[in-house]
A and B are shown apart, each in its own frame.
Chain A
Amino acid sequence: MIAPMRKRPLSFYFLAVFFGLFVLFLYGPMFAIFILSLQGPDGALTFPVRSFGFHWIASLFFQQQRIGDFGAAFQRSLLLGFIVMAVTVVVALMAGLAFRQKFKGSSFIFYLTISSLIVPSVLISLGIGIAFNLIGVQTNWYSSALGGHLTWTLPFAFLIMLGVFNRFNLSYEEAARDLGASEFQAFQHIILPLIAPALIGVALFGFTLSYDEFTRTSLISGARNTLPLEIFGMTTNVTSPALYALGTVTTVFSFSIIAIAFLAYGFFAKRQQP
């Protein structure tokens, strides 16, 4: 089972160092704000750190900020993320099922979906903004911004579904049908369990893409801000380390979501083993 120990080539060490530097590059600046968010009340936005403390993190939860309402924005983003996630999973799954067979117009829909990925985001928000304005409908985070987010999450989800169904072994489904299962039964008992991991992936992807989307939300979120818009507002309106504290807290939150998702995944995967 164990691969025979062979001498690692020199390139391994070079690349390992390169990889290490890359990880440092990815995480380095985040450590800077992590440190800066752990300051006492006299802390500032730049180095040097004046004193250590949890003042700014605590202030996010227990103290009113000078402007804005980051709690409400956070809840809004969370809710929007879940709506986008649910819609993305269902819609992309349906489209994936449709694409298991050739049908007239399928390439049109394929390219329509792909084009949504390659249209620069600023066009989406500008376009939706002007379109809503012209037909006299108010923009809102749960209508126009939801639409904007779907133009971003659906193509990814759709591509993942295509990939899954491309490699999907049709014989299971056929066997089920031969045994007299209805179309729906075949879907429920055969297809769904087999693609469940991919669906979890799509869901997680949909949620995080939406949760973090700025460009396709700005201009079209209506009267209330989502979290990324609120954070952007804070970068231009807040002069204290509360900004970094918000960064630290939202990062920790994202990590917890991923951790929970993976633990759940591992738990279910284990249960499936006899």
Chain B
Amino acid sequence: MAQFTRRQLLRTGLAAGALVTATQCTRNQAPVGTPNNPATGPTVNTNQIKDVTLRFIGTGVSQINEIKQKAEEDLGFKLEMRALSTEENNQIAITQPGQYDVFDGEYFSLPLVVPSGNLQAIDVSRITDFDKIVPIFTTGELTSGAKVNTSQGTKPSKVMFLTDQNSTEFATEPTGWATLIPFQYNADTLGYRPDLVGRQIESWGELFNEEFRGKTSILDIPSIGIMDAAMVAEALGLMTFQDKGNMTRAELDQITAILMEQKRAGQFRAFWKTFDESVNLMASGEVVLQSMWSPGVTAVKSQGIQCVYAPLREGYRGWGGGIGFSKSLSGIELDAAYEYINWMLDGWVGAFLGRQGYYSAIPENAKKYMSQAEWDFWYEGKAASEDMIDPFGKKLESKDAVRDGGSFEQRMSDVVVWNSVMDEQPYLVQKWNEFVAA
């Protein structure tokens, strides 16, 4: 028995030793690496990097097999993708750090994920095109005077940078250490079936309109749903907020009371948690007006059903998603993860997700992989010069259609709130659960 243990120990020791040497070799061989010349890296360790498998966690909107395949083809290593609900995704990021290498998550989750210490800071100097990323994420401004510059909530730029490599504190100014590197974001709003609604929807307030009693739905994710509810309540003049992105207990009490009243009156048909549920609700006609995500709208349209992603006079609710690294990632896996980020920002992913309505972190890179017609439609807000096709090859819009809400600038400038984690987050969750259970 004792001998066996010793032998095992010896073997483990040897293996560990070999591993250390191997990693050191890689380190030595890896280029000292100016960020402008990262391409030399992979060619040197192609052989080892081939054996790398990066385990991703994320939501169904971006854990897509087409992306996985293309990345494996271009980069040479393996990816494992796991599509979860937003809630499970954050939950695993926080409680099970050993189960993922790469976290594909939303910025609003960071005030919860970062303090857990499960993410490692991303060295911005290793991201080739970092300086081309849209300023919404870095400085928090788009164009001068845009509403988005003063938007409320967990704005990505507030949680984009850490004060230091080993810090879990958010920096107020850009630093060399990032939490997530963005690759997708959008301006969210209400979606509706024009054939069943019969008129134009122009205000968030319509969600509580008695006309649609029993035919509306709202997102059952506290950090997102509460913002939609706040937009509705404010639009109807039911209540006002000091700061919608950081409500007080009294404000939370009041807004959930309003929600419960609506629920009891039968305003909602159902609640949804993942975008596909919203698609099924809308496509089957169970719901005619609801808060929606862009791929949901495109999925409804690609079934040949009309669906409008309404630009509303009060503005949009924004969100941003990016890639972060697990603390446990190191050595050659970490190199692979940096390679993935550089590949991800190069434009193919941006163009692919662009066809479901998401914006790329570096639009000019995505443009390289889009046709002129696609670029004009999705980013410029111009009429489609040909039929628009979704990422999976289904027809989405006929020639001459115009994107709801217009151009990239028009839409993103009008973001007034972001998905939010508040100081009173546990209380928010408690009140939200009460609303769902009411």
Contact = CB atoms under 8 A, between A and B. Distances in A.
B partners with A: yes
A222 B99 contact: yes
Interface string B262-286: 0000000000011011011001100
A65 B65 contact: yes
B171 interface: no
A42 B273 CA distance: 26
A133 interface: yes
B13 interface: no
Contact of B63 (A44, A67, A222, A236): A67
Interface string A190-221: 00000000000000000000000000000000
B283 A44 contact: yes
A67 B79 CA distance: 13
Contact of A67 (B69, B83, B303): B83
Give the bracket for the number of chain B residues in contact with chain A: 20 to 34
A237 interface: yes
Interface in B17-69: 55, 60, 63-66, 69
Nearest to B279: A239
A68 B274 CA distance: 15
A164 interface: no
Interface of A is mostly: loop
A138 B92 CA distance: 12
Nearest to A129: B95
Contact of B283 (A46, A138, A236): A46
A138 B276 CA distance: 30
Interface residues of A, number: 22
Interface string A32-69: 00000000001011100000000000000000111111
B99 A67 contact: no
A238 interface: yes
B85 interface: yes
Interface of A: 42, 44-46, 64-69, 133, 138-139, 222-225, 233, 236-239
Query: Which are the 7 A-B pairs with shortest beta-carbon distances?
Result: A237-B60, A236-B274, A67-B83, A223-B99, A46-B284, A239-B279, A237-B276
B86 to A, nearest CB: 11
B299 interface: yes
B69 A239 contact: no
B65 A223 contact: no
B82 A223 contact: yes
A239 B273 CA distance: 14
16 contacts: A45-B283, A68-B65, A68-B83, A133-B96, A138-B96, A139-B96, A139-B99, A222-B99, A223-B82, A223-B99, A225-B82, A233-B60, A233-B84, A236-B274, A237-B276, A239-B276
